[in-house]
């Protein structure tokens, strides 16, 4: 079981074990909703659009790859591909390992790169995995779990998109 879980952690993301020193002061978070995927009008590159569930003025716009865009759009459109996509496989493996996705958190924006964490529950304990936000969002949509954003992620928006 440990080897299998280690393989999952390697395949999905680099593990980040949240210790007491990291959680010394809780950060303000906001639950987000995925509005959809659109193309950037200048570059044509896909963007994922998120907005605060309660505070509708809080928005995040992130550039993502075309495969990630497809993987985010599929559950939004209730599309079930004939064969599992990568994020379907990830969720299946997590379930087979008796773990559950509990939530995802977009944690930061540094040098135009967003960061996220996927929180898993397994055997009564929590495991936190470092993730690209696009992968975390695609996984959260499939698992039906909330997506949060920490205040740091709103500090320097990449670009306004309305």
Q: Are 142 and 156 in contact (CB under 8 A)?
A: no
DSSP string, 96-127: HTTEEEEEEEEEEEETTEEEEEEEEEETTEEE
Q: What pLDDT is recorded for position 51?
A: 96
Q: What pLDDT is recorded for position 85?
A: 87
* Domain locations along the chain: 2-18+30-154
State the CATH class of domain 2-18+30-154: alpha beta
Tokens matching residue 133:
């936000």
Q: What pLDDT is recorded for position 155?
A: 75
Tokens matching residue 27:
């950060």
Q: What pLDDT is recorded for position 5?
A: 42
The residue that leads in pLDDT, 20 or 127, is: 127
For the entire predicted model, the pTM comes to: 0.80
Using CA atoms, how far apart are residues 1 and 13, in angstroms rounded to an integer? 18
Among the listed residues 135, 93, 136, 100, the one whose alpha carbon sits nearest the alpha carbon of residue 118: 136
Q: Are 46 and 135 in contact (CB under 8 A)?
A: no
């Amino acid at each position: 079981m440990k080897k299998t879980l280690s393989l999952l952690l390697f395949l999905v993301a680099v593990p980040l074990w949240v210790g007491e020193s990291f959680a010394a002061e809780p950060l303000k978070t906001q639950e987000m909703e995925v509005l959809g995927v659109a193309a950037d009008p200048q570059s044509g590159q896909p963007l994922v659009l998120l907005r605060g569930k309660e505070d509708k003025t809080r928005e995040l716009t992130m550039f993502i790859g075309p495969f990630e865009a497809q993987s985010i759009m599929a559950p939004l459109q209730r599309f079930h591909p004939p064969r599992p996509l990568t994020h379907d496989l990830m969720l299946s493996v997590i379930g087979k390992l008796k773990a559950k996705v509990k939530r995802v958190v977009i944690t930061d924006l540094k040098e135009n790169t967003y960061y996220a964490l996927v929180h898993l529950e397994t055997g009564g304990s929590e495991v936190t995995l470092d993730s690209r936000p696009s992968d975390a969002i695609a996984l959260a949509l499939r698992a039906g779990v909330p997506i949060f954003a920490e205040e740091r992620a709103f500090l320097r928006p990449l670009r306004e998109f309305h």
